[in-house]
Chains A and B, each alone.
Chain A
Amino acid sequence: AQTVTQSQPEMSVQEAETVTLSCTYDTSESDYYLFWYKQPPSRQMILVIRQEAYKQQNATENRFSVNFQKAAKSFSLKISDSQLGDAAMYFCAYIRVTDKLIFGTGTRLQVFP
């Protein structure tokens, strides 16, 4: 069965600095998708970034980028120039083409001024 592991329950970063959130997953599939979702106190899950497993190039969305290591089954999220509004729970998620999203347990990110 597929699993997603986020080994950092909490992380903190100073405003304007860079932080990296870790995620590993276990699968025997070759075709799948990976996501990072952000959940602020409002509870709404917001898509941060998406990576297709068949793409070698790491996805980037403004200040957010990933380091996708397919062989190592690793999918870390890097947040550059951290802002106070980045404080939230971050969830890593995996999905096969014909299956359902599997989420990690989340990392709570605190941003200090």
Chain B
Amino acid sequence: GAGVSQSPSNKVTEKGKDVELRCDPISGHTALYWYRQSLGQGLEFLIYFQGNSAPDKSGLPSDRFSAERTGGSVSTLTIQRTQQEDSAVYLCASSLGLAGAGTDTQYFGPGTRLTVL
């Protein structure tokens, strides 16, 4: 596709419900990242997928957070038993991933704004 797309654009849920956020990376990009941006803050790394390698989950804040990447393309970030502190914008980014995480520019999607009531 022309750019990274994310859905839904906005999601409002009740505390305790599970939510799924979707990311479609740029076609041909092998690296995919999820970030969280809380109100007025910078971006916080959550998880990183590179090709068929095991994902880097070091940024996930709790075991309620998980992510999958199917077929090396689309990724889903799942938050179980949502809490009010999970309210944030969740941003996805992708990069070519040819030469390692540091050398490739990451291109971001528009994000999903999650509101937990």
Contacts and interface: CB of A to CB of B under 8 A. Distances in A.
Interface string A19-60: 000000000000011010100001111110010000000000
A97 B108 contact: no
Size bin of chain A's contact surface:
20 to 34
A46 B105 CA distance: 11
A32 B102 contact: yes
Nearest to B42: A103
Contact of B108 (A44, A95, A96): A44
Interface in B96-117: 100-103, 105-111, 113
Contact of A105 (B41, B108, B111): B41
Given A42-B110, A50-B105, A97 B33 contact: no
B89 A43 contact: yes
Size bin of chain B's contact surface:
20 to 34
A62 interface: no
A23 to B, nearest CB: 11
Interface in B31-46: 33, 35, 40-45
Given A44-B110, A97-B102, 9 more contacts: A33-B102, A37-B108, A47-B105, A47-B107, A50-B105, A98-B101, A99-B101, A101-B106, A103-B44
Nearest first, the 10 closest Cβ-Cβ pairs linking A and B are A45-B108, A97-B102, A103-B42, A103-B43, A43-B111, A95-B102, A44-B110, A105-B42, A100-B45, A96-B102
